[in-house]
Chains A and B, each alone.
Chain A
């Protein structure tokens, strides 16, 4: 019953995945068009680059030679995309919480961007492991998306990298059911979107043929057009372009909700929302018109330039130049082209990159050969020493003997160990410090936040207080005296001493139990005030105030003794009445 009510309470307080996605849709419809600029300015170049990269590396005869240069271009495009997406998420957050915009604008910097890129660059292998193990995938994706959302919102107080990493990891665990729900719904949306993209790619050429008589590869051989990796990847990337803003918006809302649960930021933003709506203008429309005009005009100019170039060279030279172009390289047989060993003119940067790539490949190959050799030796030795019946078990090692498999196993094992260590550390950090509570008579540090009045008897606290008074440290003396008062009240069973109780709790408890004893209550009250002013505040105590404190402590001791004696007397009379 209790468990079900707890579950119900939790489900009441949690926002559902569909609700978050609805809010995300609404957010995307409401935001300034300028924000889409940020998103697509970063994402479209990467998507086009990735499509080109994949097609080129899959088909080009000179793929190996160009790989180093194209990989560096892709790395830059990837980083650019991540920064743009983080700016998009920042814009979404500012829309949700306009009053936060001014505060954060000053903090955006190079450090945050660098931390974001570093964390994103190590997210790739983690995502692969997530795909392999399935279970942690939801958390990994959430942490990955949180990086973009929080990148330009983390202050530098705990270091940009550490702050961003810890915050995104912490928020990835916020309402895990909601997170997985969002991902599930988005997968379904993405699947339907992908089917739509493929359907459109097949139907539009079909219409073009039936209406205008235009033939294309999609009408001549639909299967050949669709069943290849370029089309497959292209359709997936188009789907990503459509679904990604929704994904970003959903995770921005999730992070915003998580933060609002402690700051109440969502309520403040609702108040600011009406003001924000009035300020919006038609800037976005102008930008979109410019974008369309640019897209419409630019191919024509490029084409005319190309024409003038082609007209200026001779026909034979033009043909050979054309055949040298990148787009015709796929027609060359890949292996033969490599064997030709021709050295095309390369820039200084490209040739340096090529050298680095070659040396890296050689190093990795050498390492993998050594590792394979070592594994083979190991297996052979084992086989020689073991009898035939063990050969079946060694077969397993032989199967996973390839370098890649072993490396993957090592990575997974390392990750599991890392997760266990992280959990263990977190558990240790979360567990309350109880050791000092047990240390009766041990050395007590009066500056420590972890001491409790029941740790020592009243006379021990008094001894410490006198030591501090002799040393002239009134602040620590007052703390020891206050703990002595509490210890005495605890010993006489006037109060129950507990770590979770505040001074206000003790005050309330004392008033309930000792309502009639005004001397005790006023003395305790006076001491609480004095203690809090000096301990939590910056009040400098004088010797006279400490003497007053001591006087109040003596009243507390005297009055609590009376109560103890009354209690013992009452118990004795009850016992006598019972007999």
Chain B
């Protein structure tokens, strides 16, 4: 159980409605970082795939 003054102190938080009104700087930054990380992952995967020998992709390596 929390005393009234502590509860009052905890209740003084910015409401989601108030947050929604602000410019979403952090969200845009998060989105940009996410896109960059995904791009890096796919870019380096492409490098890995193109470095693999052709007979691996064709399956002749197992014959």
Contacts and interface: CB of A to CB of B under 8 A. Distances in A.
Nearest to B1: A536
A71 B39 contact: yes
Interface in B30-53: 30-31, 33-35, 37-43, 45-47, 49-50, 52
B39 A75 contact: yes
A447 interface: yes
Interface in A91-124: 107, 109-111, 113-115, 117-118, 120-122, 124
A229 B52 CA distance: 11
B19 to A, nearest CB: 5
A180 interface: no
Contacts of B4: 535-538
A224 B57 CA distance: 11
A376 interface: no
A121 B59 contact: no
Contact of B42 (A58, A60, A75, A227): A75
Interface stretch (A153-161, A245-253, A386-394): A153-161
Interface residues of B, number: 39
B24 A114 contact: yes
B14 to A, nearest CB: 8
Nearest to B48: A57
Contact of A114 (B5, B30, B63): B30
B46 A53 contact: yes
A88 interface: no
B39 A224 contact: no
A228 B58 contact: yes
A564 interface: no
A110 B33 CA distance: 15
Interface string A434-466: 000000000000010100000000000000000
A535 B6 CA distance: 10
Given A224-B59, A538-B4, A63 B49 contact: yes
A114 B59 contact: no
B37 to A, nearest CB: 4
Contact of A357 (B33, B43, B54): B43
B12 interface: no
Interface string A161-181: 100000000000000000000
Contacts of B47: 64, 67, 361
Contact of B37 (A59, A122, A157, A334): A122
A536 B33 CA distance: 45
Contacts of B35: 75-76, 79, 117, 121
B63 to A, nearest CB: 8
A71 B31 contact: no
B24 A111 contact: yes
Interface in A266-295: none
A124 to B, nearest CB: 6
B34 A118 contact: yes
Given A114-B34, A121-B34, A58 B13 contact: no
B16 A110 contact: no
A229 B54 CA distance: 10
Given A75-B39, A121-B33, A502-B1, A115 B27 contact: yes
A329 interface: no
Given A71-B39, A114-B31, A57 B46 contact: yes
Q: Which of B6, B28, B31, B58 has the most CB of A within 10 A?
A: B31
A17 interface: no
B41 to A, nearest CB: 6
A69 to B, nearest CB: 10
Contacts of B58: 224, 228
A482 interface: no
8 contacts: A57-B46, A67-B47, A78-B38, A115-B30, A121-B38, A122-B37, A229-B56, A360-B40
6 A-B pairs with least C-beta separation = A227-B59, A75-B38, A71-B42, A117-B34, A121-B37, A57-B49
Interface of A: 53-54, 57-60, 63-64, 67-68, 70-72, 74-76, 78-79, 107, 109-111, 113-115, 117-118, 120-122, 124, 155-157, 160-161, 223-224, 226-230, 334, 357, 360-361, 447, 449, 502, 535-538
Given A58-B50, A110-B24, A122-B37, 13 more contacts: A53-B46, A60-B50, A67-B46, A70-B46, A75-B39, A111-B19, A114-B31, A118-B33, A156-B16, A228-B59, A360-B43, A536-B1, A537-B4
